[in-house]
Chain A
């Protein structure tokens, strides 16, 4: 099975973070998957540190989905550990409240609370839109016009990326200057994150300050695969509100366990991630 995907028999599914297939809805068939190494910067105790994650662009017939393929798995592991902890805490019976709260912090340390990137980005050719979704204290989405992320200026440079001959283009997005390497050998006008609009697949993008870099590292094709979305009513919000929430979801851990009622805890994760826009 493809890494990070859910499956039923030979059919694999990408997208959404709800537990069962029934809680998700098919939005497109999936034809190809392009894995990108995502190198980016984060702040840790005031220092800038480098982080490396693997991201996936799932290409469908009428659009695509860009996500952290491990996020769902990590969240489920975390949920399991929270449950186990809750059981332990309940098993502990008459532990004082303070000690139980200490236990809860211990759980956060265990996983470092770093589940990866929670945002899933859907591009839709039909509606000419790019929609970012996030499940954090509710289900929110932010829809933008795809053209906001497809204004590129071709440049003269060429290079081999991922064993494909690439042309280059530059663009200004979210206040940062980016350079993209795309190949006309793969005639799909798509790319990592929200980018698209070039006459070929974008295999590499990096900003001039080396804060963010996506580079293709894997490509696979699917026979029975679908792009899913959680079957929920998303609350629409502005880009500013969405980014604020996405930042919070990556910097805070939110959990709860039962003990004589409901006890919540909130911890701050050790890493603060830079926003792309």
Chain B
């Protein structure tokens, strides 16, 4: 009865449909109704397609309405129609019928069509124009404490061992928290201390232009990072206190960190004290491009090379770090940022080394040393930045100062026991003022860079090994080295918007630099041959001019920079009486082009040439003591290098599939006028620079890929690189043609296993080979692997285990070394209890071999013993 009523109803509706539908003259019509066989209910939403008899060509299609009726229309049906009726609720039905049948009523058998589910999860990356949003919750797991732990997992992002962050293989230019740059480059303070649970989103701001006035005019290559906090963390003051103690020696690891972030004021205060091998001073490294200064490595305390293992295994430290950071918005959109830090650091190390010099035709020279190194240093540094950054105006003044003093003592057991003391100290003051104003289509920019550096070092060696330099009864020498630098660079730049994406930048500037370096012996009467005294001065007065047209559109950005400097350089050597005044013209042309065919893909090309002079230290004609068995001097020539380089990059990103990949390569050609030579007399080395024009070149290429792999519930990253270098080396007065090539491969995989465990594996492999005078040296293979696992048996409890494996093919007796660490963390409300057991196997020695063109260097480092550390961390 119900079925009969349904048919009547559909017939009535069909009539209505026929009457109401717009059927054009000459059109053929097929109407019908579909019902379920079981209960006569209409089949709603079924699709009806009419095909030609060969079933190939679809001639008409329609769907059933709420009453199960349909109407097929066509200009001309074929004589016979092949009808296919499909619905999600019925079995498929096919019919062959004459086209002029007019109307059909069908009862269909019910059958639920099952569709294969393809479940998707909330996207972990979202793109909004030039901004990529990485949702922290999608990448964080129970083993992550700080936001740095999460950042290093993000596909497309790489964190170097130094803490520097790269995006698509290019270092980031800014690190913001809630859009403000509190840390001014020292972002390790945030990445190592900001709780990951406080952050909602990590944003990558691509091609980020920090100066608003320059937006659309200068397109920087580098990206910036911005951390967006959860609402609960914004404006809230949160702090953690950590107290830690351990054994076998009396270990301490204490910290107090407090922070607060709003859009108008941000503060971060930190104290850390540690003697467990964790390098807390590393957090205060600034990763922004600092004003250029001459190489001050002579004034840095150094124990030499370090083993390629986790720093915690070899660093014998006692460090205290204080960092105070404050940012506040002032009236009229000005921002004042103050950063102060103080570091007290005591380090010690012990190692055995054997250096063998290999030159064709000569007997190898072997130097064996047992070195014990101690250093105590303090550094006070600060930055004060006032900035106003709006659409048409930019003003920024950044004043930076630092004062650092260190005492080092080195005891070396070699042919004769030697003691070496060094007391280096450096004071620096830098000030950068930038002013930009946009008026109509012109943008004016004035920038001033001032820098003052004063450095000194006293180096004492007892006994002095260079017998020919001293009278017979003198056992020790002490040399003082002082350095002073004053620089001022003032320039004006104007950007002229030419319209349609074209602009022209002009720059004109003047600069002045003054350098002075001096060295003298405290007991000069002991010297018989050379005074070991220097007094050099270099003054540079110059102007620079730059014209650079550029173009920017949605897909293309390019710029041609044609700067050149005119220098008047005065060089004075008060010891030799040398005086030289000369004018130099130094062009530095550069071109960059970027093509973005889509939001996903970017091609970039950079070509540049520059000519540079070496620092004043390379001009010292009197011998300078650099260590107990190294003295160096120059013939007095001004060392210069001309570098021509070209680089390309292809960058692809797909935030939706989280695939990030890049391929980059570069070629650099160097022309140099000076070659450094070394002459050994026993273990004492004299190195000096001689005039010897020559060239060198370097090829480099790197490929990276990173992707979130859903089937593994984690992120996989892979990178590989190849480099090849050709250069000359001068040793024992013989010039050698040197070649080196290296291949590197590294990968990492972070995966969640169920709800309870996280496994992280990283590996890096290096193959390197040197050729000297076409004679190939045995290549070496180096592998560094780390496998870590975190297990959460119950809420709040995390057990971690880390195994590190290092392999070096040159270490014959034991090429593989293993280190194992375990940790237990239990978190309950605001309390966190941490127990760490490091170097479980108690491995106390680690050997490495390194190469250079003329020598190999075998070193055995003394490591920290097996240690336990218990810490309590309280969130306030």
* A52-B127 contact in complex given A47-B554, A220-B118, C-beta closer than 8 Å: yes
Indicate if the CB atoms of A125 and B554 lie closer than 8 Å: no
A190 nearest in chain B by CB position:
B45
- What string of 1s and 0s marks CB contacts (under 8 Å) between B792-836 and chain A? 000000000000000000000000000000000000000000000
Chain B CB within 8 A of A110 CB? yes
Residue pair A184, B116 in contact (C-beta under 8 Å): no
Q: Are A81 and B118 in contact (CB-based, < 8 A)?
A: no
Minimum C-beta distance from B43 to chain A (A): 11
Return the contact of B129 from the options A49, A54, A81, A186 (Cβ within 8 A): A49
Contact B113 A187 (CB under 8 A): yes
B87 within 8 A of A: yes
Do B86 and A184 have beta carbons less than 8 Å apart? yes
A125 partner residues in chain B, CB cutoff 8 A: 44-45, 65-66
Q: Which of A179-204 contact B (CB under 8 A)?
A: 184, 186-190, 196-200
Cα–Cα distance between A109 and B119 once the two chains are bound (Å): 32
Which residues of A (30-86) have their CB < 8 Å from a CB of B?
31-32, 35, 37, 42, 44-52, 54, 61-62, 70, 77, 80-81, 84
Contact yes or no, B47 A184, CB < 8 A: yes
Query: Is A139 engaged at the interface, CB distance under 8 Å to the other chain?
Result: no
New A-B contacts (5) at CB < 8 Å, excluding given A48-B554, A102-B263, A221-B115? A51-B128, A109-B179, A110-B234, A126-B66, A167-B58
CB nearest to A154 among chain B residues: B58
Contacts of B216 in A (CB 8 A): 45-47
Interface size on B, residues (CB 8 A): 49
Task: Output the nearest chain A residue to B120 by Cβ-Cβ distance.
Answer: A218
Question: B656 at the A/B interface (Cβ < 8 Å)?
Answer: yes
Is B262 within 8 A of A106, CB to CB? yes
- A80, B117: Cα distance in complex, Å: 34
B63 touches A110 (CB 8 A): no
Interface status of A219 (Cβ within 8 A of chain B)? yes
CB distance from B306 to the nearest CB of A (A): 43
How long is the Cα–Cα vector from A217 to B117 in the complex, in angstroms? Answer: 11
Complex CA–CA separation, A62 to B87 (angstroms): 13
Minimum CB–CB distance from A223 to chain B (whole Å) comes to 12
Which residue of chain B lies nearest to A127 when distances are taken between CB atoms in the complex?
B66
A31 to B45, CA, bound (A): 13
Q: Point out the residues of chain B lying under 8 angstroms from A190, CB to CB.
A: 45
Against B, the Cβ 8 Å flags (1 = close, 0 = not) of A97-113 are: 00000110010011010
Chain B residues with CB below 8 A from A19, complex form: none
The answer to whether the Cβ of A3 comes within 8 Å of any Cβ in the partner chain is yes
A136 at the interface (CB under 8 A from B): no
- Asked if B263 contacts A51 (CB within 8 A), the reply is no
* Chain B residue at smallest Cβ distance from A189: B63
User: With contacts A110-B234, A187-B46, A187-B88 known, is A218 near B115, CB below 8 A?
Assistant: no
Min CB–CB distance B478 → chain A (angstroms): 60
Minimum CB–CB distance from A134 to chain B (whole Å) comes to 22
A186 and B599 contacting across the interface, CB-CB below 8 Å: no
CB-CB < 8 A to A154: which residues of B? 58, 61
Residues of B within 8 A of A198 (CB): 61
Q: Given A126-B66, A184-B86, A219-B117, A49 and B47 touching (CB < 8 A)? A: no
Minimum CB–CB distance from B77 to chain A (whole Å) comes to: 15
- The 5 tightest CB contacts between A and B, nearest first, are A49-B129, A218-B120, A187-B86, A106-B263, A199-B61
Whether A218 contacts B123 in the complex (CB less than 8 A), given A125-B44, A125-B66, A198-B61, comes out as: no
B404 at interface by CB-CB < 8 Å: no
| Interface residues as binary, A133-168 with B (CB distance below 8 Å gives 1, 0 otherwise) | 000000000000000000000100000001000010
CB of B231 closer than 8 Å to a CB of A: yes
- Complex CA gap A34/B814 in Å reads 59
Q: How far is the CA of A103 from the CA of B234 in the complex (A)?
A: 12
Is B128 a contact of A88 with CB atoms below 8 Å?
Answer: no
Closest to A37 in B: B656
Known interface pairs A52-B127, A217-B120. Does A197 touch B656 (Cβ–Cβ under 8 Å)? no
Known: A110-B234, A125-B66, A220-B117. A188 touches B656 (CB 8 A): no
How many residues of A are counted as interface, with CB atoms below 8 angstroms from the partner's CB atoms? 54
Residues of chain B at the chain A interface (Cβ within 8 Å): 44-49, 58, 61-63, 65-66, 84, 86-88, 113-123, 126-130, 178-179, 215-216, 228, 231-232, 234-235, 262-264, 554, 598-599, 655-656
Pick from A54, A61, A219: contact of B115, CB under 8 Å = A219
What chain A residues lie within 8 Å of B234 (beta carbons)? 110
Asked if residues B121 and A3 are in contact (CB atoms below 8 Å), the reply is: yes
Q: Contact: A200 with B118, CB < 8 Å? A: no
Question: Which residues from chain A sit less than 8 Å from chain B, CB to CB?
Answer: 3, 31-32, 35, 37, 42, 44-52, 54, 61-62, 70, 77, 80-81, 84, 88, 102-103, 106, 109-110, 112, 114, 125-126, 128, 154, 162, 167, 184, 186-190, 196-200, 217-221, 271
- Please tell me if the beta carbons of A51 and B129 are within 8 angstroms of each other in the complex: yes
- How far, in whole Å, are A189 and B232 apart by their CA atoms in the complex? 45
**List of A residues within 8 angstroms of B122 by Cβ:** 3, 70
Whole-angstrom distance from the CB of B389 to the nearest CB of chain A? 15
Contact A186 B115 (CB under 8 A): yes
Contact A114 B656 (CB under 8 A): no
Between-chain CB contacts (< 8 Å), 27 pairs:
A3-B120, A32-B115, A37-B656, A45-B215, A46-B216, A47-B129, A47-B554, A49-B130, A50-B598, A51-B129, A52-B656, A54-B123, A61-B44, A103-B264, A106-B262, A109-B179, A110-B263, A112-B128, A162-B118, A186-B115, A187-B47, A198-B61, A199-B61, A199-B63, A218-B118, A219-B117, A221-B117
Cβ-defined contact, A109 with B263, below 8 A = yes
A271/B47 in contact, CB under 8 A:
no
Task: Give Cα A81–Cα B234 distance, bound, in whole angstroms.
Answer: 10
B63 touches A50 (CB 8 A): no
Q: How far is the CA of A126 from the CA of B66 in the complex (A)?
A: 5
Say whether A218 contacts B119, CB under 8 Å.
yes
Q: How far is the CA of A125 from the CA of B119 in the complex (A)?
A: 27
Q: Which of A3, A112, A187, A217 contacts B87 (CB 8 A)?
A: A187
Complex partner residue of B47 from A32, A110, A200, CB under 8 angstroms: A200
Q: Are A271 and B129 interface neighbours, CB within 8 A?
A: yes
User: Chain B residues with Cβ under 8 A from A162's Cβ?
Assistant: 118
Closest chain B CB from A174 CB (angstroms)? 22
In the docked arrangement, what's the CA distance between A62 and B655, Å? 36
On whether A51 and B117 interact (CB within 8 A), knowing A110-B228, A187-B88, A199-B49, the answer reads no
Complex interface: chain B residues within 8 A of A196 (CB)? 63
Q: With A106-B263, A106-B264 as given contacts, are A54 and B44 in contact (CB-CB < 8 Å)?
A: no
Q: How far is the CA of A186 from the CA of B88 in the complex (A)?
A: 7
CB closest residue in chain A, given B87: A187
Query: In the complex, A114→B133 CA distance in Å?
Result: 12
- Asked if residues A188 and B120 are in contact (CB atoms below 8 Å), the reply is no
Give Cα A173 to B380, complex, Å: 67
Closest to A47 in B: B554
Q: How far is the CA of A118 from the CA of B599 in the complex (A)?
A: 25
Residues of B contacting A54 with CB < 8 Å? 120, 123
**Chain B contacts of A42 at CB under 8 A?**
129
Taking a contact as CB atoms under 8 Å apart, the answer to whether A81 and B117 are in contact is no
Residues of A within 8 A of B215 (CB): 45
A84 CA to B86 CA, complexed, in Å: 53
| A189→B117 contact, CB < 8 A | no
* Complexed CA–CA distance, A109 and B264 (Å): 12
Residues of A within 8 A of B264 (CB): 102-103, 106
Assuming A49-B128, A62-B66, A125-B65, is B235 touching A184 (CB within 8 A)?
no
Closest CB in chain B relative to A103 CB, distance in Å: 8
Cross-chain contact A271 with B231 (CB below 8 angstroms): no
Give the chain B neighbours of A187 by CB distance below 8 A.
46-47, 86-88, 113
Query: Residue of B at shortest CB range from A196?
Result: B63
Give bound CA distance, A3 to B61, whole Å.
Answer: 34
Smallest CB separation, A52 vs chain B (Å): 5
> Which of B58, B61, B121, B264 has the most chain A CB atoms closer than 10 A to its own CB?
B61
Contact of B655 with A52 in the complex, beta carbons under 8 Å? yes
* Alpha-carbon distance between A218 and B656 when the two chains are bound, in angstroms: 13
Q: Hey, which chain A residues are within 8 Å of B655, CB to CB?
A: 52
Q: Is the CB of B231 within 8 A of A50?
A: no
Docked CA distance A106–B84 (Å): 59
